[in-house]
Each structure stands twice: as structure tokens, then as C-alpha cells.
Amino acid sequence: MSAALHATLQDIGPVLALILFGFLPNEVWRLVGLMLVHGLDEKSQIIVWVRAVATAMLAGVLAQLILSTSGPLASIPVSVRIGASVLGFAAFLIGKRSVFAGVLTGEAAILLGTYFLGT
Amino acid sequence: MKNPMSVEPADPPAHVAFQVFLDGIVAAVRSVFFYVLIGNYVGMGALAHEVGFSFWWMALSTVLIWAAPAQVILVSTLSTAALFEVALAVTLSSVRFLPMVAAILPTMRRPGVRQRDLILPMHLTAISVWVEGMRLLPLMPVERRIAFYNGLGTGLMSGAVIGGAVGFVLAAKLPPLLSAALLFFTPMAILMSSARNSRTLLDGLAFALGLVVGPVVAAQKIGLDLMWTGLIAGTMAYGVHRLREARRKCVS
């Protein structure tokens, strides 16, 4: 770690660092979204397409979280993550499409699987 | 007196708007995402404590950023990486907000809504609020949607702030494996809620294609995985949707 960079964080303080390097780079996408749809209504074909893109991205987030090999989830084996997702989804279908039943079953499977098979 | 022929829905009176806002908070507490966010942010709060940020910094980061992946990056790299690299990693993790905001805000627009009325809904948009908003907003009159969405977002954000606070306080007592398991609430909730919500062919197809295209794009290692996944899978689903619509028009 470079001393100069560390000093920078200390100079500007954690709150200003949060605003400049966390809030602004994150919020810019929301702002662009707001400005791009100015004057468009919900039936327009562009919005229908954008909705499909957003939905596909959401599925991409899901795939990333289940398959990723880095970050805090890495300590849970991928096989346990896939198995828990399948079990959770089965509980969701059996439980008359109850999201609560599915999420709780999947989370229980993750806890047990991690406890017995985790690294 | 109002023109009885007017078709433009008027602003609801202030007390009605407040009641609708409260309805939004109730919907948030009844949503599975409220509990998912608590669990998820318990893990995040523990992480922030471990790295050495303050209790209030953690709460402020949730209110201002309101994006779990960006917050994980910020908390884990702000004190060790170059600040420019932190900002770049955060911004690359947040591209999804563009199409999400662009898809949900038009459902709240009607004549008389100013751009600044949409700033709070814009900021409150996150995966959880978006998924529940896309499901619930079409069920109510358009003039109530902004207040309801603001209540929904505020309620869900409160769950995250509470979870973050609890995690921060409990940090020393949480085994790391439990923190990781708590973060797994998010993919579960995305999977189940999307399966419940996708009522149209377009939604279901976009989601299914995204699940397939996502790992394929990631394997190419070209970067910006989520953006490409969204554009490729979303456009394919939209194309199928348009072909079906065209065929239906030909038949009728």
C-alpha cells in the first residue's frame, strides 16, 4: 500500500471518500437512466426492450452470485450453491410458488451444506 | 371546480399520498426482500466493522449507495486500493441501474409529473425495490405509484440499514462462514421472485436467456459481463417477442 494514497484517504476523510468514490460513481447510472427516459412512456418499444435488458441483467447477477469464485461467497463450494438453489426452487414449486418457502429452504440448505462441506 | 371531462388523473391530496406511502412501507415489510436485505446487510455490517469503518459511515453508505455489490467493493478496498481504482470498480458494478431506472420510471409518469418528482424514486431503485415495484405498480392507479414506490423503497432500505447496524454490533461474534451464508439470501430471493413475477413470455425468456448467456459471457473474460449479458440476452428475447407479435397481427 502506498503511503501517499493512504494519506489521501486520511486527508479527505472517510465520508468525503464515500461520496466521491462510492456514491457518485454508483449514482451516475441511475441519473443517466432518469435522463434517457425523459418524455418516454411505458408502452414505447424502447422501454419494452430496456425492460428485457434489465431482466436479463438481473439473471446475469444471479448467475454471477451462484457461480463466482471470488469475493465473500467463495468460501461456499459452487456445488453447494447450485444444490441449494435447486432445493430452494423445488420447495418454491411444491409450496404453491411461495417465495418465503423457497428462500428459507435454500438458505437452510446453504447453512447445512457449508457447515458440512465448506472450506 | 374541476372539469369532469378531464381524463388526466390529478395529484392525490397530501393525506392520501401519505397513506399510500405507508402502504408502500407495509408492502416492503411483507416482501421477502425485507428479510433478505437484513440478512445480507448483517454480513456487510460485520465486514465494515472488521475493516475499521464507523457505525455511522456504514449506515450512510447504505443510504447513499444503496447497492450491495458496490458497498462490498467500497468497504473491502477503500483503505487499501488506489481511490481511482475503487471508483472504477464501483461504477462497473452498478451498470444495471441504468436499464432498471429506465424501465420503472415510465410506469410512474403521467401529465403533471415533474422530473424532480422522479429523483427520489430514481435513487431508491435497487434490485429488491425494482423487482417488487415491477410487480406491484401496475396493480394501482398511476397517480399513486410515486408515493407507493417511495414507501416501498424507504421500507426496504430501512431493512438494510437495520441489518447493517446489527451486523456491525455483532461482528466479533459472527463466524465468517455464517456471514457468507447470509450473503446467499440475495441470489435465492432473485431466483424465486423472478420466477413468480415473470408473467409474460418476454420476461421469462429474458431471464432464462440471461442465465445461459451470463456464464458464457463471463467465460470470454472480455469484462463488463453484466452489460453484455443484458444487451445480448435482452435483445434476443425482445426479438422473439417482436416476431411473435408480428405473426399474431398477420393471423388476425
Digit-coded pLDDT (tens) for B29-59: 999 999 989 988 998 898 888 888 999 999 9
Q: Is B213 an interface residue toward A (CB < 8 Å)?
A: yes
**What band does B128 get if pLDDT is binned at 50, 70 and 90?**
very high
Q: Kindly report the backbone phi and psi dihedral angles of residue A2, in degrees, each rounded to the nearest multiple of 5, phi listed first.
A: -75, 135
d(CA A46, nearest CA chain B) in Å: 9
Beta-carbon separation of A19 and B32 below 8 A: no
Grid cell 401496475 is found at: B138
**What band does B235 get if pLDDT is binned at 50, 70 and 90?**
very high
- What does the alpha-carbon distance between residue A52 and residue B195 come to, in Å, rounded to a whole number? 15
- What does the alpha-carbon distance between residue A22 and residue A61 come to, in Å, rounded to a whole number? 20
Taking residues B225-239, report their average pLDDT. Answer: 93
- What does the alpha-carbon distance between residue A1 and residue B83 come to, in Å, rounded to a whole number? 12
**What band does A97 get if pLDDT is binned at 50, 70 and 90?**
confident
DSSP B142: G
Measured between beta carbons, the chain B residues lying within 8 angstroms of A19 are 64
Q: Model confidence over A59-92: pLDDT tens digits?
A: 998 898 888 776 667 778 888 999 999 999 999 9
The larger pLDDT score, comparing residue A58 to residue B13, is at A58
Residue A115 has pLDDT above 70, yes or no: yes
User: What is the separation, in whole angstroms, between the first and last Cα of chain B?
Assistant: 45
> Is residue A57 a contact partner of residue B230, using CB atoms and an 8 Å limit?
yes
- What does the alpha-carbon distance between residue B194 and residue B184 come to, in Å, rounded to a whole number? 16
Question: What confidence score (pLDDT) does residue B7 get?
Answer: 55
Percent of chain B with pLDDT over 90: 57
- What does the alpha-carbon distance between residue A113 and residue B200 come to, in Å, rounded to a whole number? 35
How high does pLDDT run on average in chain B? 89
Q: Domain extents for chain A?
A: 1-38
- Angle at the Cα of B177 from the Cα atoms of B43 and A56, rounded to 5 degrees: 60
Q: Which of A56, A81, A88 sits opposite B234 (nearest CB)?
A: A56
Q: Which of A27, A28, A61 sits opposite B190 (nearest CB)?
A: A61
Q: Is A113 an interface residue toward B (CB < 8 Å)?
A: no
| Three-state DSSP state, B126 | coil
Q: What is the DSSP string of A18-53?
A: HIIIIIHHHHHHHHHHHHHTTT--TTSHHHHHHHHH
In sequence order, which residues have a C-beta less than 8 Å from that of residue B90 and are 6 or more positions away?
A21, A22, A25, A26, B65, B70, B73, B74
- Closest by Cα among B31, B95, B5, B24 to A99: B31
Sign of CA dihedral B72, B133, A59, A27: negative
Question: What confidence score (pLDDT) does residue B112 get?
Answer: 86
Beta-carbon separation of B131 and A28 below 8 A: no
Question: What confidence score (pLDDT) does residue A9 get?
Answer: 65
Beta-carbon separation of B53 and A29 below 8 A: no
Q: What is the 3-state secondary structure (H, E, C) of B89-120?
A: HHHHCCCCHHHHHHHHHHHHCCCCCCHHHHHH
Q: Output Rg (C-alpha) for chain B, integer angstroms.
A: 20
d(CA A38, nearest CA chain B) in Å: 8
Q: Is B98 an interface residue toward A (CB < 8 Å)?
A: yes
Measured between beta carbons, the chain B residues lying within 8 angstroms of A6 are 79
Q: Is A109 an interface residue toward B (CB < 8 Å)?
A: no
- For chains A and B, count residue pairs whose Cβ atoms are closer than 8 Å: 305
Q: Model confidence over B180-213: pLDDT tens digits?
A: 788 788 888 888 888 888 778 898 999 999 999 9
Beta-carbon separation of A30 and B186 below 8 A: no
- What does the alpha-carbon distance between residue B5 and residue B167 come to, in Å, rounded to a whole number? 55
- What does the alpha-carbon distance between residue B183 and residue A85 come to, in Å, rounded to a whole number? 14
